[in-house]
Amino acid sequence: MSDDHPHSTNGSARKSWASKLLALFTGEPNSREELVDLIQDAEERDLIDNDTKEMIEGVLDVAELKVRDIMVPRSQMVTIDINQTVDAFLPIVIDSQHSRYPVVSENKDHVEGILLAKDLLSYGFGMTDEEFSLHKVIRPAVIVPEGKRVDVLLKEFRSQRYHMAIVVDEYGGVSGLVTIEDILEEIVGDIEDETDINEDTRADIRRINKSRYSVKALTTIEDFNDYFGTQFGDEEYDTIGGMVAHGFGHLPKPGEEISIQDIHFKVTSADKRRIQQLQVSFPEPPPATTTDS
From the number of C-beta atoms within 10 Å of its C-beta (0-12, 13-18, 19+), residue 265 rates as buried
SS3 category, 235: coil
SS3 category, 81: strand
Using CA atoms, how far apart are residues 220 and 230, in angstroms rounded to an integer? 13
pLDDT (0 to 100) of residue 124: 60
Using CA atoms, how far apart are residues 182 and 177, in angstroms rounded to an integer? 10
- Domain spans of the chain? 9-48, 68-186, 200-289
pLDDT (0 to 100) of residue 60: 76
pLDDT (0 to 100) of residue 147: 93
**Nearest of 185, 183, 149, 190 to residue 163 by alpha carbon:** 183
Q: Give strand pairing partners of 116.
A: 100
Mean confidence (pLDDT) of the chain: 79
CATH number attached to the domain at 68-186 = 3.10.580.10
Other beta carbons within 10 angstroms of residue 289's beta carbon come to: 17
Determine if the pTM surpasses 0.85. no
pLDDT (0 to 100) of residue 212: 83
Contacts with 82 (C-beta within 8 Å, 6 or more apart), sequence order:
103, 104, 105, 112, 134, 135, 138
Selected from 3.40.30.10, 3.40.50.20, 3.30.465.10, 3.30.980.10, the CATH number assigned to the domain covering 200-289 reads: 3.30.465.10
**pLDDT < 70 regions, the chain:** 1-32, 123-131, 189-203, 285-293
